[in-house]
Amino acid sequence: MRLLWISLLLSACSAKSASVVPDMGAAIHAIPVAAEPQRGGDSAAGYRALVNNGYVNCGIPYSLYAKVFGANAPAADQLPGRDGHNATLPFGQTAFTTKSGVEVVTANCLGCHAAKLGGTLVVGLGTTTQDFTQDPTSQLAFAATLITDAAEKAEFDRFAAHATTVGPYSTTLTIGVTAADNIAGILFAHRDPLTLAWSPTALLEPPPLYGVPVDVPPWWRMKKKNAMFYDGAGRGDHARIMMTASVLCTDSVAEAQEIDAYFGDVRAYITSLVPPVNATPIDATRAARGKSVFDATCASCHGSYGDGGSYPNLMIPVDEVGTDPVIGNGAAQFADRFVDWFGKSFYGQTARLEPRPAYYAPPLDGIWATAPYLHNGSVPSLAALLDSPSRPRYWRRRATDGLGNDYDPAIGGFAFDALDHGQDAEPDATARRRIYDTTKTAYGNGGHTFGDALSPEDRAAVLEYLKTL
Ligand code: HEC
Ligand code: HEC
């Protein structure tokens, strides 16, 4: 499992305007995000590229992978439309042949951007079960001893050199969140922005070793969003920004250009996705009441849904939404030196990282399926999101099987237990990693109190309505 984890983490990713802003009262200064031109593309070709191509351009020799993990993943973990060995690999792994002729296995985007819900794999749903709590690079030395072929060894060593650099910067305190933004930062720090050549020593000050937790957002939001990321930093050519998630092993501009050539198609696929439909029973009368409360209380930021719906693309300053400030205030890949690096690099030719001290009010399509909530995944259910005093300080998801059969429509989230203690009071390391401890830096669950003033009936009605989106 550990090796899988290594290769998974390694692909991590990573308009100002003064136009008319809806009046939200004196306390809120919403920042509109303008649309920018995007590349077209062929979504079917994008899907094929996503699940077959070696855009994360290094990995573990296939022979080693097959020996350790077996060549055949369970059928429920396989995806259609995959070529060669990919047909039997798990959805988050891709096999491809490197220029030196070695077939390697690497992580693809779906290791983070696909997950099971009700036992079925949903492409585009963010993972909530990957374990990024440990730096696995100690396993690499052992893995190296299993390889005898010289060409395979050379590919493995290239992979291992990048992996050992990133490993210490990639860990989180709790299972389910990722340090994706930190991983992007450390990879930028080790590359020359002009040539993309890898440097064994950091060329910029690395991000702090403390991985800032980020909950993986669902891909179907990109149909509506004018900028990428929770802090709206991803501006300009979105396809170009999406491909930075392959920066682990893209060692030259020529390699980046090859990947870029099909990322318009990948973006077309991502923006074609729609959320899964909630099959649990809905109380239609209550949901109808919820819609009118939502339209009066929430739609100014999150938009309206159904016929004639619209989405305003607004960001809300960190202080005003009041949620955990660490990412919004420029941590990890959003620190100034990485924003500068991006601007000078191949990626910056058509795109910009332009973080604001603010959080995007996201489209809420399929929100029922995307627990836990907020950018750091600190709130386990919609019921708790809508009633901030009820949010658990310490909590743990009950199920550990990753199948997503634990969705509880009564709370709008996965079944969880509130705990009486945090990570520091938990002596058992395995149990500790499962605790979401909101007292830790960047894991805070405060803010977004917009549901607090609702009556219990209105709050229940809004919850019912959110389950229909
Ligand atoms: C290690 C996990 C991980 C991997 C692997 C990964 N991502 Fe992400 N992705 C994230 C996280 C976490 C975010 C949110 C980051 C933020 O907003 O600060 C994100 C954000 C995004 C977004 C923006 C979504 C939004 O609502 O703004 C897109 C699009 C995206 N990723 C595409 C990709 C593509 C394409 C790949 C593969 C080339 C990829 N990602 C690989 C974790 C990952
Ligand atoms: C003033 C603007 C504003 C209003 C009003 C508002 N929200 Fe939000 N909402 C936000 C922002 C900004 C975020 C992102 C905060 C973060 O991730 O830290 C957010 C996040 C959310 C999320 C979590 C999304 C996710 O990906 O985890 C949900 C659910 C949500 N809001 C529902 C509501 C509901 C329901 C209402 C009305 C009761 C409401 N919001 C009112 C701005 C607003």
Cβ neighbour number for residue 15 with a 10 Å cutoff: 18
Atom of ligand 2 nearest to the CA of 320: 1
Distance from the alpha carbon of residue 441 to the mean position of ligand 2, in angstroms: 21
Whether cis (ω within 30° of 0) applies to the bond prior to 275 is no
Ligand approaching nearest to the C-alpha of 454: 2
Residues 6+ apart with CB under 8 A from 46: 262, 264, 265, 266, 267, 268, 269, 270
Distance from the alpha carbon of residue 215 to the mean position of ligand 1, in angstroms: 10
CA-nearest of 121, 120, 110, 116 to 269 is 110
CA pair distance 333, 337, nearest whole angstrom = 9
**Is the CB of 232 within 6 Å of ligand 1?**
no
Atom of ligand 2 nearest to the CA of 451: 38
Computed on alpha carbons and rounded to an integer, the radius of gyration of the chain in Å comes to: 22
Residue among 24, 128, 301 to mutate when testing ligand 2 (max atoms within 8 A of CB): 301
Ligand approaching nearest to the C-alpha of 464: 2
Residue among 10, 39, 56, 113 to mutate when testing ligand 1 (max atoms within 8 A of CB): 113
Residues 6+ apart with CB under 8 A from 454: 293, 297, 386, 462
For the purposes of burial, counting CB atoms within 10 Å of the CB of 402, is it exposed (0-12), middle (13-18) or buried (19 or more)? middle
Residue among 128, 298, 326, 414 to mutate when testing ligand 2 (max atoms within 8 A of CB): 298
CA pair distance 435, 419, nearest whole angstrom = 8
Residues 6+ apart with CB under 8 A from 39: 237, 239, 264, 267
Distance from the alpha carbon of residue 160 to the mean position of ligand 1, in angstroms: 23
**Is the CB of 460 within 6 Å of ligand 1?**
no
**Is the CB of 7 within 6 Å of ligand 1?**
no
For atom 38 of ligand 2, the residue with the nearest CA is 451
Let me know: does 113 contact 370? Beta carbons within 8 Å.
no
**Is the CB of 216 within 6 Å of ligand 1?**
yes
**Is the CB of 126 within 6 Å of ligand 1?**
no
Distance from the alpha carbon of residue 14 to the mean position of ligand 1, in angstroms: 6
pLDDT given for residue 141 in this prediction:
81
**Is the CB of 250 within 6 Å of ligand 1?**
no
HSE-up of residue 316 (Cα within 13 Å, Cβ side): 24
Q: Which amino acid is at 397?
A: R
Distance from the alpha carbon of residue 244 to the mean position of ligand 1, in angstroms: 10
CA pair distance 405, 383, nearest whole angstrom = 19
Please report where in the chains the tokens 């305007």 appear, as a residue: 17
Q: Which long-range contacts (CB under 8 A, 24 or more apart) does 20-25 make?
A: 21/314, 22/300, 22/312, 22/314, 24/300, 24/301
pLDDT by 10s per residue, the chain, length 469: 344 444 443 333 433 343 445 556 668 999 999 999 999 999 999 999 999 999 999 999 999 999 988 989 999 999 999 999 999 999 999 999 999 999 999 999 999 999 999 999 999 999 999 999 998 777 888 888 889 999 999 999 999 999 999 999 999 999 999 999 999 999 999 999 999 999 999 999 999 999 999 999 999 999 999 999 999 999 999 999 999 988 899 999 999 999 999 999 999 999 999 999 999 999 999 999 999 999 999 999 999 999 999 999 999 999 999 999 999 999 989 999 999 999 999 999 999 999 999 999 999 999 999 999 999 999 999 999 999 999 999 999 999 999 999 999 999 999 999 999 999 999 999 999 999 999 999 999 999 999 999 999 999 999 999 999 9
Distance from the alpha carbon of residue 448 to the mean position of ligand 2, in angstroms: 6
| Biggest distance spanned by C-alpha atoms of the chain | 69
Let me know: does 269 contact 46? Beta carbons within 8 Å.
yes
For atom 20 of ligand 1, the residue with the nearest CA is 229
CA pair distance 40, 197, nearest whole angstrom = 29
Please report where in the chains the tokens 């995806």 appear, as a residue: 79
Distance from the alpha carbon of residue 296 to the mean position of ligand 1, in angstroms: 32
Atom of ligand 1 nearest to the CA of 8: 5
Atom of ligand 1 nearest to the CA of 127: 2
